[in-house]
Amino acid sequence: MRPGDLVLGDDDGVVVIAQEKAASVLAGAQARMEKEAEVMDRLQNGELTLDLLGFRDILAERGIHL
């Protein structure tokens, strides 16, 4: 750890982010949050994780039809 590094913690643990990587880590975190929000919206609108994640097709390929 060096001066300027970020130290973040929550109930799951602690992470140290090097200062020079902070911008890319933030961008990745924001992208993940946007994707998770989209998935939650789709679930609230009645879609199933079975379909969102492509599991129905995988199961069908294995002869399991739901």
pLDDT number for residue 62: 94
pLDDT tens for residues 18-57? 999 999 999 999 999 999 999 999 999 999 999 998 899 9
Provide the 10 A C-beta neighbour count for residue 29.
Answer: 11
pLDDT-derived band at 66, boundaries 50, 70, 90: confident
pLDDT number for residue 35: 94
How do the domains of the chain map onto residue ranges? 6-61
Looking at residue 18, the DSSP 8-state letter turns out to be: -
Model's pTM, two decimal places?
0.67
Provide the 10 A C-beta neighbour count for residue 7.
Answer: 9
pLDDT higher than threshold 90 for residue 13: yes
pLDDT number for residue 2: 94
C-alpha–C-alpha distance, residues 66 and 14, integer Å = 42
